[in-house]
Amino acid sequence: MRRSTILAGVFLPALSAVAAGGLAAQEEEGTIPGVELGIVLENRYVPPIAVHPFTLSIAGDDALGREIELIIARDLDLSDRFLVRDTLPAEFAGGGVQYALWEQFEVDWLLTGTLEGDTAGDGRILAVELHDVVYGSLHERERFRVPERGSASFRMAVHAVSDAVVGWVTGERGAAATRIVLAMRAFGEERGKELYVVDSDGENLRRLTWDQSIVASPVWSPDGKRIAYTSWKSGVPRIYEFDLETGRDRALIPDGHGHQLTPSYHPDGHTIIFSVIGAEPKGIFTFNIRDGCCLTRLEGGPHQNLSPGYSPDGSSFSFLSSRLGTATPQIYVRPARGGSAELLSPYRFGAGGYFADPDWSPGSSKVAFAGGIKGRRQANRYNILVADVAKGDNRLVQLTREGNNEDPSWAPDDRHIVFKGQRTYGTGVFIVDTATGRTRLLVGNVLAEDPDWSPLLAGNGVGG
């Protein structure tokens, strides 16, 4: 077992106290002896950017142009990579780019655009230019097809423009053109949960299922076209796959294999890894859903093994196991082809600790999970934690510090995490930036569980 050193701020009084890049450690009653806690956040320069009002070539496009500007400006803000200047002095409107003026206005980057008709249909062509104000030069330009306003893919297409801009500046693609699936209490209902999806900017919340039952643990397929989830609609929990193109679902795992929970896709999209409870043998299994074959057990035993999820290359998976005690579930990592499970969450005998909901980021060696090491009495106060499997030092970064926080899921940018949060003022789904700690509400005043962040969706025809 690895000895854990936690460099996260589980019990720090204030995030701001250590947010300046330092490492602070503090111990309080209820912590694991010998384990240090602190918060490490990058003290990175955040460049200011301005979105110049677009030039319009078609009469009557004023509202459309303004809407696209607003979507992009908001995406750039939510990307947590820019300081978006949203109030521009009047003299900057129109005309060519005067770098000296923009520099006076203290922006490093300037985005301009021209909205033209699209010969291929009723949509528009948006030609955007990203100007480097500091160097006084054009940095990048590209033309994007924007479908007709009000069409299902309009907003996703605009989000894709924002993601490209993030990529030009940072070299890392943004995650605006994505959606988040939730297991949520339907509006007006007093029980049950149904599948909902919402765009990454909190717009466009819509219902997917009418099962009149309980759904849980939805996850996106790697191609973003299907969602695997658990539903009780047959009376017992079983895994289904919802096809976003047809709106239909099907049972994924043949009957007679116990109660199935917590599905997750292999990066190849053909294999489902999931948990079986309530039948022998129980444990963690894989099943090839393309060929409908090859049920294989990877983990077993009398204890619970839940929430498996693959590493980006599919060679390992993280999961929850209660092998150290029912009241102290822990997070483990092990090779998919066989081998022993290694403890990832911090554990010391007798100190308690409850760690659950592991989620391996889609493109890095980081695993997020929820939990806490306070005693039993303070239970149900979990925080979102991140461990880096590759570093091996079990440094743990804590991303939340108020209320209760569960069910983390990584964005495809390997930087943002969506999670379920409970606050004194209500419950909802939040997004936290792991680099800055900045947190925003995605959907508020809803009873939602198990949010899962999609892969990049623009251009794949997912309806909206």
Partner 1 sequence: MFNPRLVLTAFVAVFIAAACRPEPPPPPPAPTGPTPEELEAKRIADSIASAEAEALRLAAEKARLDRERMERARQLRATLEEMVFFDYDEANIRTDARSRLEAKLEILRDYPSVLMRMEGHADERGTSEYNVALGNERAESVILFLTGYGLDGVRFESVSYGEESPIASGSNEAAWAQNRRVEFVITGGAGDLGR
By the criterion CB under 8 A, which residues form the site for partner 1? 191-193, 214, 216-217, 232, 235-237, 259, 261-262, 275, 277-278, 304, 306-307, 320, 322, 326-327, 329, 354, 356-357, 370, 376, 379-380, 382, 406-407, 449-450
- Which residue lies nearer to partner 1 by CB, 262 or 311? 262
Residue where the block lists tokens 């330092």: 22
In angstroms, give the least distance from the CB of 262 to partner 1: 6
Distance CA 187, CA 447 (A): 9
Q: Cis link prior to 281 (omega < 30° from 0)? A: yes
Q: Count other Cβ atoms within 10 Å, centred on residue 415.
A: 23
Q: Which is nearer to partner 1, 147 or 237 (CB)?
A: 237
DSSP lists the bridge partners of residue 143 as 127
Distance separating alpha carbons of residues 195 and 186, to the nearest angstrom: 9
> Shortest gap between Cβ of 202 and partner 1 (angstroms)?
22
Residues 307, 406 contacting (CB under 8 angstroms): no
- Looking at the Cβ atoms of 13 and 325, the one nearer to partner 1 is 325
Contact 406, 356 (CB under 8 A): yes
Identity of the residue, 174 or 408, whose beta carbon is nearer to partner 1 in the bound complex: 408
Our CB check for partner 1 shows the closer of 41 and 272 to be 272
Q: For residues 153 and 405, which CB has a smaller minimum distance to partner 1 in the complex? A: 405
Q: How far is the CB of 243 from partner 1 (least distance, A)?
A: 24
Q: Which is nearer to partner 1, 191 or 337 (CB)?
A: 191
Query: Whose Cβ is closer to partner 1: residue 259's or residue 440's?
Result: 259
Contacts of 342 (CB under 8 A, 6+ apart): 1, 2, 332, 333, 334
Q: What's the min distance (Å) between Cβ of 409 and partner 1?
A: 13
Q: If residue 217 lies in a helix (H) or strand (E), which one and from where to where?
A: strand 215-220
* C-alpha span between 13 and 32 (Å, rounded): 18
Q: How far apart are CB 277 and partner 1 at their closest, in Å?
A: 5
Amino acid making up residue 333: V
Distance CA 401, CA 419 (A): 13
- If the CB atoms of residues 121 and 325 are measured against partner 1, the closer one turns out to be 325
Question: Are 194 and 427 spatial neighbours (Cβ–Cβ below 8 Å)?
Answer: no
Residue 345 CB, shortest distance to partner 1, in Å, is 13
CB 217 → partner 1: shortest distance, Å?
6
DSSP state of 186: P
Residue 173 Cβ vs partner 1, minimum distance, rounded to whole Å? 30
CB of 213 to partner 1, least distance (A): 10
- With the CA atoms of 213, 456, 408 and 38 taken in that order, what torsion angle do they form, in degrees rounded to the nearest 10? -170
Instruction: Report how far residue 232's alpha carbon sits from residue 209's, in angstroms, rounded to the nearest whole number.
Output: 13
Alpha-helical (H) ranges within 45-153 are 62-78, 99-104
CB atoms within 10 A of CB 121: 11
Query: How far is 376 from 373, CA to CA, in rounded Å?
Result: 9
